[in-house]
């Protein structure tokens, strides 16, 4: 297409005519007709130069390329003319024309010309200059440029030119530009390094001079690219260049007062950044006082926002070079050990305790592949994150056998028959009055404490003279002379009696009465006295004798909204700088241990009142150590899960002795996950006892300057799945306290203890009406001696007529479980919502009970919850990875829950729905994971026969309904892919072995929602409980669907609604929940772009290294 251009037409045709002539010469024998060729090319050049844009029509330049590219001459002037023509043509239209040129093989021709003319001695300077200018232009657009250069032998030509023309800036510049592109290829980088190019670049960039800054910039870019190779980085260190780079950086920092040479300064830092990827480089950096130099220069840069890229890169380098410390612990094994009945030889516990002392926490500063010469270009900052990303795809189950129902159910019915007693509703005939009073109340059946010990409740009334000799923490609460602090210890406690006693204060608590806020109306399931009763029957490994105030008083959801916290600009950076100051100004650091569980006789270290007091010796507490690092800053170390050496994320501890109006900074320094919702608006939870006593017993979202980042504490490979060079992460937050003499609690999420569950279950009994069938059984005892409750909830039969008994027995079963992971307390709050709804008096609740029999195991891991674990049970294992082969001794709750399901499968009563409630630490909203062969096969691209793809969409109905009625629920986050790593989870095993098509994990956010009615808000217990209630409502809708016709047609029907975009078409009036305003139909989500993600898998990361790219020159082409 040619633009009509009256002025252009004649000149175009003239160029075309000349090109034709050139083509003709070329076709014949150009060598003989050198003079003509020279003239013709000169004329074309002249025309193009004088006609400007009008000569640059598509036909014209396309033709010209083809002619020019097959040129075959040794005449320097003709070649120059052609190079000038190309230069003119490629200058206009930018990338697109260069692209055409590359696609026609232009790069190769240019390299040929370069090679053949470099043999002339001396080579024509003008020709070399023009060639390199063109190559530089082409290089960034040709993905294969590096390979082509190497194979044609061009690398050495350019290098030699640079070596011979160090003083010739005019020729040097294009040569360096080409060299810069060569160096981005990792193989080239090594080869160039061998030829002395690293040294050569250092010659060009040093010493400091403002002459020829463009040259300098290009040389720095090339150097930066070369130093990505570890061999080259080592070469630079050996050549003593680290101090040189630092000195140069400082020179530029001082002299570039108007910040005109940002790219040069950034270039120097990039070189340092790449050198410090190797251990040797980090050592040289520290020896050259790099920390102080970069710290000081960055501090001076901080006020100027445009210098952010420099500060960010400096901070990255400093973090990397910060000497790795080990955690300030004698061992990373849990402070408590539980003696297992037997230790499986190959299990994690055996491994843990067979290690010789001292090897469990080795500081490992090696590069991941220090020994091997593999020259990968990994930025060590990103390595593990990238790994995380890959696993989500590699993890899809591709073995079709594992995607089909397991043929053999595994256990003979004789073995399962004993579970019949948990299903008396399936045989009960209601003919005798006694059988209806649903038998074994769970709370009354709990075994008495094995070693009776005094339970210390938050009241001073319990004080008896007998206890005065035991450990007694002075009451921090003297409210109008009324002490409200518990006292205690002694009995079977581990803690000695000689610590912390403050004689004169002892009487302070005597006879005092704790003011318990009256919450009976607001919290119908809460009762402090019942709570204390329940605590007495709870068994913890450390034999806790104290009760935390929040669990005792209860929690009432605040009436105000708690929006996501906006992240303050630069907060991570400023926190990291404060960490770096520890190294630079070591004398400012107190390093005073104020709490230490590793001193069991005296964990609380008393002092002059200058420090906060910490405590976590209560149910679900897990603080191991607190170190005061600055006057108002504390490093906190969490305990590992019992019988393990890691899994830290959950926290729950108490603080007292605070000053009012002072801002304290807390750093939890041994977090393990690579990212956290704390970076995306989530705050920690705080509970103030003073507030509670004033009538506001509640957890509130608290904390400013919150951020979560990788720190300088090394993670032993033993605690990191064998991976070397890993670090821990810090969660940091700041807060101030409003009340003097307060006791405050901090938690990862709303605590929900095992004793709380028992209290709630006991209070649920009181909600029973004659219409409700509620039975509480003890499914089994845990390793730690706690009972695992099993609930059966349904409606009593309408009468004891045969028909009604029959209807009663034949109700479909719904099987629910929760809290297999102790750190996921949100799951318990959702479960509380479900239980309360099921026991409610609403017509919906009655219909629901009449529709189904609910079997519920509300806490699959009581021991983990009691002992403050994050992930595991006392066996040191993740119970949600034991479902394929649970061991009756080590995993009793899983073994027996699975047995219940196996029993049901045997009697042809497999549940309609199975759902295990969980919490998700790195995603927002509430969502479900299910199992679908079809969707797994689609995701994995494995070939499958059409019979593998015959699957109805019934599994999608429940989440779809939830997305329509539950404001926190998001269909877009749901996934129905079966992952390899999940093959032994409840969801997959119940689906595959028990044959439950609707087998789910329901994940609730710890943070909040980014869609629907709660968008922008942090989640609270009200929303979580509502979620549990809405789950029930959704089940009722599912029932309406399944009840409309016989079972065969159910699936079609469900498929219909899934395709439907009008959710109201199948909604019956009576389905509406009583709290109508809570329903947000606008929350209709689309499931087209559902993205599968692991239950606890990877997530996108905020990558500081990617944020700081300023350079316009960092080309990133690889072969």
In the complex with Zn ion, the residue whose CB is nearer, 821 or 870, is 821
CA of 571: how far to CAs of 568, 601, 734, 795, 922, in Å?
6, 39, 11, 55, 20
CB of 821 to Zn ion, least distance (A): 4
> Is the four-CA dihedral 900, 902, 908, 909 of positive or negative sign?
positive
User: Which part of the chain contacts Zn ion (CB under 5 A), choosing from 66-74, 166-174, 413-421, 916-924?
Assistant: 916-924
* CA-wise closest residue to 446 among 373, 317, 535: 535
In the complex with Zn ion, the residue whose CB is nearer, 743 or 747, is 747
Residue whose entry in the numeric block shows the structure tokens 């210390």: 456
Structure-token pair, residue 555: 């929690």
End-to-end CA distance of the chain: 35
Q: What three-state secondary structure class fits 418?
A: helix
For residues 273 and 316, the answer to whether their CB atoms sit within 8 Å is yes
Question: In terms of C-beta distances under 8 Å and separation of at least 24 residues, what long-range contacts does 5-13 make, across chains too?
Answer: 5/54, 7/54, 8/51, 8/54, 8/55, 8/57, 11/47, 11/51, 11/54, 11/55, 12/54, 12/55, 12/57, 12/59, 12/60
In the complex with Zn ion, the residue whose CB is nearer, 844 or 857, is 857
CB of 899 to Zn ion, least distance (A): 22
CB of 759 to Zn ion, least distance (A): 23
Strand-pairing partners, residue 630, are: 633
In the complex with Zn ion, the residue whose CB is nearer, 446 or 1094, is 1094
In the complex with Zn ion, the residue whose CB is nearer, 533 or 824, is 824
DSSP state for residue 105 in the 8-state scheme: T
CB of 824 to Zn ion, least distance (A): 5
What does the per-residue mask of binding to Zn ion show for 862-901, with x meaning CB under 5 A? Answer: ----------------------------------------
User: Which part of the chain contacts Zn ion (CB under 5 A), choosing from 35-43, 79-87, 464-472, 822-830?
Assistant: 822-830
Q: Order of strands, edge to edge, in the sheet holding 743-747? A: 613-615, 652-656, 743-747, 684-688, 699-702
Rounded CA-CA distance 684/597 in Å is 23
What are the E-state strand segments in 376-496? 478-479, 482-483
CB of 916 to Zn ion, least distance (A): 8
In the complex with Zn ion, the residue whose CB is nearer, 745 or 752, is 752
Rounded CA-CA distance 245/199 in Å is 13
Structure-token pair, residue 312: 């960010």
CB of 797 to Zn ion, least distance (A): 37
For residues 848 and 1032, the answer to whether their CB atoms sit within 8 Å is yes
For residues 852 and 952, the answer to whether their CB atoms sit within 8 Å is no
Strand pairing report for 913-920 and 813-818:
parallel
CB of 1093 to Zn ion, least distance (A): 13
HSE (CB half, 13 Å, CA atoms) of 1014? 28
Q: What three-state secondary structure class fits 546?
A: strand
User: Which part of the chain contacts Zn ion (CB under 5 A), choosing from 589-597, 759-767, 823-831, 1080-1088?
Assistant: 823-831
Structure-token pair, residue 884: 């394929």
Rounded CA-CA distance 951/737 in Å is 57
CB of 883 to Zn ion, least distance (A): 13
Strand-pairing partners, residue 456, are: 546
In the complex with Zn ion, the residue whose CB is nearer, 619 or 824, is 824
CB of 570 to Zn ion, least distance (A): 34
CB of 873 to Zn ion, least distance (A): 13
Residue whose entry in the numeric block shows the structure tokens 């929303």: 1023
In the complex with Zn ion, the residue whose CB is nearer, 525 or 986, is 986
Q: Does 918 bind Zn ion (CB under 5 A)?
A: yes
Exactly one of 273, 821, 891, 992 binds Zn ion (CB under 5 A); which one? 821
For residues 456 and 545, the answer to whether their CB atoms sit within 8 Å is yes
Strand-pairing partners, residue 794, are: 773
3-state SS of 553-600? HCCCCCCCCCECCCCCCCHHHHHHHHHHHHHHCHHHCCCEEEEECCCC
Residue 810 CB coordination number (10 Å): 10
**Residue of 619, 836, 993, 1003 with catalytic role:** 1003
Q: How many residues bind Zn ion (CB under 5 A)?
A: 3
Rounded CA-CA distance 923/1099 in Å is 8
User: Which part of the chain contacts Zn ion (CB under 5 A), choosing from 427-435, 750-758, 818-826, 909-917?
Assistant: 818-826
CB of 918 to Zn ion, least distance (A): 4
User: Which part of the chain contacts Zn ion (CB under 5 A), choosing from 79-87, 151-159, 725-733, 915-923?
Assistant: 915-923
What does the per-residue mask of binding to Zn ion show for 767-806, with x meaning CB under 5 A? Answer: ----------------------------------------
CB of 861 to Zn ion, least distance (A): 10
In the complex with Zn ion, the residue whose CB is nearer, 489 or 886, is 886
HSE (CB half, 13 Å, CA atoms) of 116? 11
In the complex with Zn ion, the residue whose CB is nearer, 624 or 918, is 918
Rounded CA-CA distance 984/366 in Å is 35
Angle 213-226/186-194 helices, nearest 10 degrees?
110
In the complex with Zn ion, the residue whose CB is nearer, 633 or 824, is 824
Residue 53 CB coordination number (10 Å): 12
Rounded CA-CA distance 298/302 in Å is 6
CB of 923 to Zn ion, least distance (A): 12
Residue 373 annotated to the active site: no
In the complex with Zn ion, the residue whose CB is nearer, 989 or 1110, is 989
In the complex with Zn ion, the residue whose CB is nearer, 820 or 1032, is 820
Backbone angles phi, psi at 676, to 5 degrees: -155, 150
- Residues near Zn ion (CB under 5 A) are 821, 824, 918
- Which residues are known to be catalytic? 1003
């Amino acid at each position: 297409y040619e633009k009509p251009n009256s002025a252009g037409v004649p000149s175009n045709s003239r160029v075309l005519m000349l090109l034709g002539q050139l083509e003709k010469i070329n076709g014949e024998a150009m060598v003989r007709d050198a003079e003509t060729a020279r003239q013709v090319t000169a004329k074309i050049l002249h025309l193009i130069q004088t006609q400007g844009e009008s000569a640059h029509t598509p036909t014209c330049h396309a033709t010209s390329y083809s002619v020019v590219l097959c040129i075959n001459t040794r005449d320097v002037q003709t070649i120059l003319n052609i190079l000038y023509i190309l230069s003119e043509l490629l200058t206009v239209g930018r990338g697109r024309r260069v692209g055409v040129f590359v696609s026609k093989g232009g790069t190769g021709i240019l390299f040929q010309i370069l090679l053949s003319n470099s043999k002339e001695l001396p080579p024509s300077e003008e020709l070399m200059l023009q060639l390199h200018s063109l190559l530089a232009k082409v290089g960034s657009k040709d993905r294969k440029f590096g390979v082509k250069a190497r194979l044609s032998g061009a690398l050495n030509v350019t290098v030699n030119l640079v070596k011979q023309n160090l003083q010739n800036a005019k020729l040097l510049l294009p040569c360096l530009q080409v060299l810069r592109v060569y160096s981005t290829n990792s193989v080239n980088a090594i080869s160039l390094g061998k030829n002395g190019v690293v040294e050569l670049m250092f010659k060009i960039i040093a010493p400091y001079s403002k002459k020829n800054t463009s040259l300098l910039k290009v040389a720095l870019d090339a150097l930066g690219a070369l130093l990505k190779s570890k061999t080259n980085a080592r070469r630079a260190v050996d050549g003593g260049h680290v101090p040189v780079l630092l000195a140069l950086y400082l020179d530029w920092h001082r002299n570039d007062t108007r910040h005109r040479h940002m790219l040069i300064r950034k270039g120097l830092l990039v070189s340092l950044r790449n050198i410090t990827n190797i251990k040797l480089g980090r050592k040289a950096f520290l020896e050259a006082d790099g920390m102080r130099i970069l710290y000081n220069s960055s501090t001076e840069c901080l006020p100027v926002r445009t210098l952010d890229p420099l500060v960010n890169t400096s901070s990255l380098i400093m973090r990397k070079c910060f000497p790795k410390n080990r955690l300030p612990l004698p061992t990373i094994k849990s402070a408590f050990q539980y003696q297992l009945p037997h230790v499986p030889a190959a299990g994690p516990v055996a491994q843990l305790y067979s290690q010789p002392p001292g090897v469990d926490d080795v500081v490992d500063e090696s590069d991941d592949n220090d020994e091997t010469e593999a020259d990968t270009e990994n930025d060590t900052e990103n390595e593990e994150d990238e790994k995380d990303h890959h696993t989500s795809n590699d993890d899809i189950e591709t073995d079709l056998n594992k995607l089909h129902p397991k043929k053999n159910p595994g256990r003979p019915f004789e073995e399962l028959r004993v579970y019949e007693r948990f299903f008396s509703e399936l045989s009960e005939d209601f003919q005798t009055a006694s059988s209806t009073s649903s038998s074994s109340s769970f709370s009354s059946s709990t075994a008495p404490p094995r070693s009776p010990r005094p339970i210390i409740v938050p009241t001073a009334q319990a004080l008896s003279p007998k206890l005065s000799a035991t450990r007694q923490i002075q009451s921090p609460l003297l409210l109008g002379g009324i002490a409200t602090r518990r006292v205690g210890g002694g009995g079977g406690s581990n803690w000695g009696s000689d610590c912390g006693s403050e004689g004169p204060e002892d009487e302070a608590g005597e006879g005092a009465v704790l003011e318990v806020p009256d919450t009976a109306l607001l919290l119908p399931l809460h009762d402090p006295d019942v709570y204390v009763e329940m605590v007495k029957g709870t068994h913890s490994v450390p034999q806790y004798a104290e009760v935390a105030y929040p669990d005792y008083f209860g929690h009432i959801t605040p009436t105000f909204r708690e929006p996501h916290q906006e992240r303050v600009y630069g907060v991570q950076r400023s926190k990291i700088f404060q960490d770096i100051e520890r190294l630079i100004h070591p004398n400012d650091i107190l390093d005073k241990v104020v709490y230490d569980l590793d001193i069991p006789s005296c964990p609380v270290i008393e002092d002059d009142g200058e420090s906060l007091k910490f405590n976590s010796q209560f149910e679900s507490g897990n603080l191991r150590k607190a170190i005061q690092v600055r006057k108002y800053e504390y490093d906190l170390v969490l305990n590992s899960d019992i019988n393990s050496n890691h899994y830290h994320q959950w926290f729950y501890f108490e603080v007292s002795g605070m000053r009012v109006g002072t801002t304290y900074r807390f750093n939890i320094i041994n977090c393990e996950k690579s990212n956290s919702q704390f970076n995306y608006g989530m705050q920690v939870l705080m509970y103030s006892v003073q507030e509670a006593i004033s009538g506001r017993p509640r957890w509130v979202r608290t904390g400013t300057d919150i951020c979560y980042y990788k720190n300088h504490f090394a993670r032993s490979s033993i605690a990191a799945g064998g991976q070397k060079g890993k670090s821990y992460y810090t969660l940091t937050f700041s807060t101030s306290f409003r009340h003097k003499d307060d006791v405050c609690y901090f938690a990862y999420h709303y605590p929900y203890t095992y004793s709380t569950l028992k209290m709630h279950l006991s209070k649920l009994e009181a909600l029973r009406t004659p219409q409700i069938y509620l039975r509480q059984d003890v499914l089994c005892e845990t390793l730690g001696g706690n009972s695992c409750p099993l609930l059966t909830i349904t409606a009593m039969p309408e009468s004891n007529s045969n028909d009604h008994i029959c209807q009663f027995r034949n109700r479909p079963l719904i099987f629910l479980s929760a809290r297999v992971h102790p750190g996921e307390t949100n799951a318990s709050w959702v479960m509380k919502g479900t239980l309360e709804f099921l026991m409610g008096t609403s017509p919906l609740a009655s219909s629901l009970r009449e529709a189904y029999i609910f079997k519920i195991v509300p806490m699959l891991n009581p021991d983990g919850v009691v002992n403050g674990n994050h992930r595991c049970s006392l066996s040191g294992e993740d119970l949600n990875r034991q479902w394929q082969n649970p061991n009756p001794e080590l995993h009793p709750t899983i073994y027996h829950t699975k047995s219940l399901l196996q029993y049901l499968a045997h009697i042809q009563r497999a549940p309609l729905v199975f759902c295990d409630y969980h919490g998700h630490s790195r995603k927002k909203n509430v969502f479900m994971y299910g199992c679908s062969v079809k969707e797994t096969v689609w995701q994995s691209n494995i070939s499958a026969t059409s019979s593998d793809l015959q699957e109805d969409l019934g599994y999608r109905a429940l989440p779809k309904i939830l997305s329509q009625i539950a404001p926190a629920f998001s269909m877009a986050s749901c996934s129905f892919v079966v992952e390899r790593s999940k093959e032994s989870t409840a969801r997959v095993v119940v689906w595959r072995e028990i044959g439950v098509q609707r087998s789910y994990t329901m994940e609730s956010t710890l943070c909040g929602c980014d869609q629907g009615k709660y968008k922008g808000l942090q989640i609270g217990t009200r929303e979580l409980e509502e979620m549990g209630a809405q789950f029930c409502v959704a089940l009722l809708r599912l029932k309406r669907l399944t009840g409309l016709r016989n079972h065969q047609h159910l699936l079609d029907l469900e498929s219909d609604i899934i395709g439907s975009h009008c959710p109201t078409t199948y909604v019956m009036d009576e389905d509406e929940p009583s709290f109508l305003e809570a329903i947000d139909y606008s929350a209709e989500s689309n499931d087209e772009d559902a993205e599968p993600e692991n239950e606890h898998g990877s997530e996108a990361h905020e990558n500081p290294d990617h944020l700081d790219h300023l350079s316009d020159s960092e080309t990133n082409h690889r072969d």
